[in-house]
């Protein structure tokens, strides 16, 4: 880690009544291999979480299924439940020894999971509770209704959805105020552009997961490198800076298990891309 403190200079967005900087941190990577079990070094994992907060990150994304349970536990141990950090978690996926992700949107299960997440996060309420992925075996509206009830009952402050189509987002919005949508989106994968447009129109936070494409930015690597060289930056930083420019509702959550990588990702908020650079990147894959 550097001696200088790197500061999160992204501008802000309102999630419900809470103001967060638009560049957040994804805590899926602080677990063991294949996102199963504990990491080899739990101290470093907790250090990454604390360091994110020290750098001015106040939006942290996790899920009950990361580990499972491990990511939430380490966040709770590292920072507890500070008022000035919004911790967003999710429910709706089961795990197994093979590392599979199995959709499970059963209402009783979601109600069980909110209690376990509260315990691990050492929180009185969940700041943002996201339905992780629609489940073909449970009617979507039944799962969403459970999230709406949990909000009404005071277990969660805000509700989000994840991995949804435009139609599913419309359906969810008929049942509950949707504060955020978390779908895969990055320079190489714009499959969720229609959902992003709805979020922009309706001022819903859009959390692009895999914002640096799981560290696989080769597809437009030459263009990224060319722009990165101009700014003495890295291609990952350019990819993150482009996302922040792409929409005011965009809330990227780069995931890392490494304090140095965390700093580098936060430093992307200090990059100022020209209009021409943004346009070239936008046109590269649209
Ligand atoms: N809703 C969903 O279904 C869903 C699905 C997947 C992820 N997510 C969320 O989205 C977050 C981000 O997605 P992601 O973690 O899959 O992908 P990502 O942020 O695009 O990329 C993470 C990968 O990049 C590496 N990395 C990150 N910063 C780096 C840097 N500065 N230098 C070198 N390598 C770097 C990480 O390794 P190191 O650990 O070595 O840095 C990791 O392998 C997750 O943490 C999770 O919170 C949500």
Cα 108 to ligand 1 centroid, rounded to whole Å: 30
Q: Is 129 annotated as catalytic?
A: no
Ligand 1 neighbourhood includes 28 CB (under 6 angstroms): yes
Enter the pTM of the model. Answer: 0.98
Using CA of residue 259, residue 68, residue 143, residue 110, what is the dihedral sign? negative
Q: Where are the domains of the chain?
A: 12-220+247-257
214, 253 in Cβ contact below 8 A?
A: no
- 61: tokens are 């994304």
Per-position pLDDT tens, the chain of length 286:
666 779 999 999 999 999 999 999 999 999 999 999 999 999 999 999 999 999 999 999 999 999 999 999 999 999 999 999 999 999 999 999 999 999 999 999 999 999 999 999 999 999 999 999 999 999 999 999 999 999 999 999 999 999 999 999 999 999 999 999 999 999 999 999 999 999 999 999 999 999 999 999 999 999 999 999 999 999 999 999 999 999 999 999 999 999 999 999 999 999 999 999 999 999 997 6
From 1, 23, 27, 29, the mutation candidate for ligand 1 (largest count of ligand atoms within 8 A of CB) is 29
> 131 CA to middle of ligand 1, Å?
19
130 close to 104: Cβ distance less than 8 angstroms:
no
**From the CB of 246, is ligand 1 less than 6 Å away?**
no
Q: Which residue, by CA, sits nearest to atom 45 of ligand 1? A: 26
CB of 181 closer than 8 Å to CB of 160: yes
Q: Does domain 12-220+247-257 have CATH number 3.40.1180.10?
A: no
Contacts of 140 (CB under 8 A, 6+ apart): 105, 134, 168, 171, 172
Ligand 1 and 206: CB distance under 6 A = no
Q: Given the structure tokens 């507890």, which residue do they identify? A: 80
- Find out whether the beta carbon of 259 lies less than 6 Å from any atom of ligand 1: no
Our CA dihedral for 181, 185, 186, 188, rounded to 10 degrees, sits at -170
Cα 61 to Cα 44: distance, rounded to the nearest angstrom: 18
């Amino acid at each position: 880690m550097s001696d200088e403190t790197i500061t999160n200079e992204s501008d802000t967005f309102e999630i419900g009544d809470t103001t967060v900087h638009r560049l957040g941190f994804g805590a899926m990577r602080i677990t063991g291999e294949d996102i199963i079990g504990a990491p080899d070094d739990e101290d470093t994992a907790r250090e990454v979480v604390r360091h994110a907060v020290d750098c001015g990150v106040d939006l942290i994304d996790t899920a009950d299924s990361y580990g499972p349970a491990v990511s939430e536990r380490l966040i709770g141990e590292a920072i507890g439940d500070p008022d000035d950090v919004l911790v967003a978690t999710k429910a709706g996926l089961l795990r197994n020894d093979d590392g599979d992700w199995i959709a499970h949107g059963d209402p009783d299960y979601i109600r069980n999971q909110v209690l376990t997440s509260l315990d691990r996060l050492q929180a009185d309420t969940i700041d943002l509770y996201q339905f992780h992925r629609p489940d073909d075996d449970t009617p979507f509206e039944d799962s969403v209704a459970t999230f709406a009830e949990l909000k009404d009952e005071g277990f969660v402050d805000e509700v989000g959805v994840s991995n949804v189509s435009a139609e599913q987002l419309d359906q969810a919005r008929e049942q509950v105020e949707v504060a955020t949508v978390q779908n895969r989106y990055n320079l190489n994968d714009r499959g969720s552009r229609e959902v992003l447009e709805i979020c922009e129109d309706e001022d819903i936070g859009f959390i692009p997961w895999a914002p640096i494409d799981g560290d696989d930015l080769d597809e437009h690597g030459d263009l990224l490198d060319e722009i990165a060289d101009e700014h003495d930056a890295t291609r990952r930083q350019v990819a993150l800076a482009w996302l922040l420019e792409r929409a005011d509702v965009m809330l990227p959550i780069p995931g890392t298990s490494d304090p140095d990588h965390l700093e580098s990702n936060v430093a992307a908020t200090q990059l100022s891309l020209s209009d021409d650079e943004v346009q070239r990147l936008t046109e590269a894959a649209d």
